[in-house]
Amino acid sequence: MDTQEILALALSLARQKEVPADTEIHVPARSVQKALFGIDVDSGELVLAKQLGYDLVISHHPTGGSAVLEFPKVLAKHGDILVRHGVPRAVADAAVHELQEGRWPEAHRENYDRLPSIARMLGIGFMCIHNPCDEIGRRVMDETLRAHLPPTPRVRDAIDVLYGLPEFSEAETRIELRMGALDNPLGSWAVHHGAGTNGGFPVARAAYEHGIDTVFYIHIDAGQLRRLHEGFGLEGRKNLVVTGHVASDSIGINALVRELRSRGVRVDTYSGIVDV
Ligand SMILES: [Fe+2]
Ligand SMILES: [Fe+2]
């Protein structure tokens, strides 16, 4: 496979027609036999991969170029998730706007060509596949919950169901309830993943104020969490389940890795991937 075919495979698994803004081929590679896949990739690891004879390094997190510069665009997917769960479009758009406002200056500041330039000098294939993997992961989490939740579930039931996914049972992190109570009714719930990064305070607030009782994030910053506690109560009726960063990222990554391996590409994983 070449890098274009690998990207096309990721998109088809994610049921996406367009390449998301946070996903990019930095250095194309033809006929990839051996690929190294990590959640985060740095310069030393590109050298290591070259020394070990890999044709291609795939990073999950954005590594440069437009994947970094245009990253805030992907946050708009939070708006689509909110709308699919009944939040009015104007409210969802306002939450996305608030998220993006905080991110554009950061994206603009980035050294977007550091890692791609190193890969070019080394002559090694290099790409990042971010949102397609996260979208696959979001769908797996969503479908797993739908398929296995008991009637009138409590929050603890949802956490138990998610532990049925091997990435969660084998990770070194646990699924944490950061707000609410295990015995609360799960109520109306939504998995807010596959949209760049977590939706922080703005997305969770939009959800809680428009009928969603339980939000699933894969990670959250302490400052954003504090604002949620202030707004909705540490042990109130609204629940925030945080599933764990690398464990959750691994779900979508593993789905792609399995498909690549079945097509004859040797894929080795490192840098946090819970390879189950
Ligand atoms: Fe991710
Ligand atoms: Fe991530």
pLDDT digits (tens, 9 = 90+) for 9-63: 999 999 999 999 999 999 999 999 999 999 999 999 999 999 999 999 999 999 9
136: closest CA among 256, 14, 9? 14
How far is ligand 1, taken at its centre, from the CA of residue 61, in Å? 7
How far is ligand 2, taken at its centre, from the CA of residue 215, in Å? 17
How far is ligand 1, taken at its centre, from the CA of residue 63, in Å? 13
DSSP 106-154: HHHHS-TTHHHHHHHHHT-EEEE--HHHHHHHHHHHHHHHHHHPPSS-B
User: Measured between alpha carbons, how far is residue 120 from residues 30, 57, 86, 250 in Å?
Assistant: 14, 12, 46, 27
Contact 45, 271 (CB under 8 A): yes
How far is ligand 2, taken at its centre, from the CA of residue 94, in Å? 24
Q: What domains are defined for the chain?
A: 3-73+104-130+249-270 (3.40.1390.30), 136-247 (3.40.1390)
pLDDT < 50: residue spans in the chain: none
How far is ligand 2, taken at its centre, from the CA of residue 151, in Å? 32
Neighbours of 190 (CB within 10 A): 22
pLDDT of residue 104: 97
How far is ligand 2, taken at its centre, from the CA of residue 60, in Å? 7
How far is ligand 1, taken at its centre, from the CA of residue 151, in Å? 30
Mention every residue, 6+ apart, whose C-beta is less than 8 A from residue 138.
191, 193, 194, 252
| 85-89 contacts, C-beta under 8 A, 24 or more apart | 85/188, 85/190, 85/207, 85/211, 85/212, 86/188, 86/210, 86/211, 86/212, 87/206, 87/207, 87/210, 87/211, 87/212, 88/210
d(CA 120, CA 116): 6
Ligand number, closest to the Cα atom of 130: 1
Contact 82, 46 (CB under 8 A): no
Say whether 269 sits in a helix, a strand or coil. Answer: strand
pLDDT of residue 35: 98
d(CA 239, CA 169): 21
pLDDT of residue 172: 98
How far is ligand 2, taken at its centre, from the CA of residue 77, in Å? 15
How far is ligand 1, taken at its centre, from the CA of residue 125, in Å? 21
d(CA 128, CA 6): 11
d(CA 196, CA 98): 14
- Locate 94 and state its tokens: 């306002």
Residue 250 φ then ψ, to 5°: -65, -25
Which residues have CB atoms below 5 A from the ion given as ligand 1? Answer: 134, 249
pLDDT of residue 274: 97
Mention every residue, 6+ apart, whose C-beta is less than 8 A from residue 69.
107, 108, 110, 112
Ligand number, closest to the Cα atom of 129: 1
Ligand number, closest to the Cα atom of 251: 1
137: closest CA among 232, 262, 257, 8? 257
60: closest CA among 266, 267, 260, 249? 249
d(CA 165, CA 264): 25
pLDDT of residue 116: 98
Ligand number, closest to the Cα atom of 23: 1
Strands 176-179, 239-242: parallel, antiparallel or unpaired by DSSP? antiparallel
Q: Which amino acid is at 82?
A: L
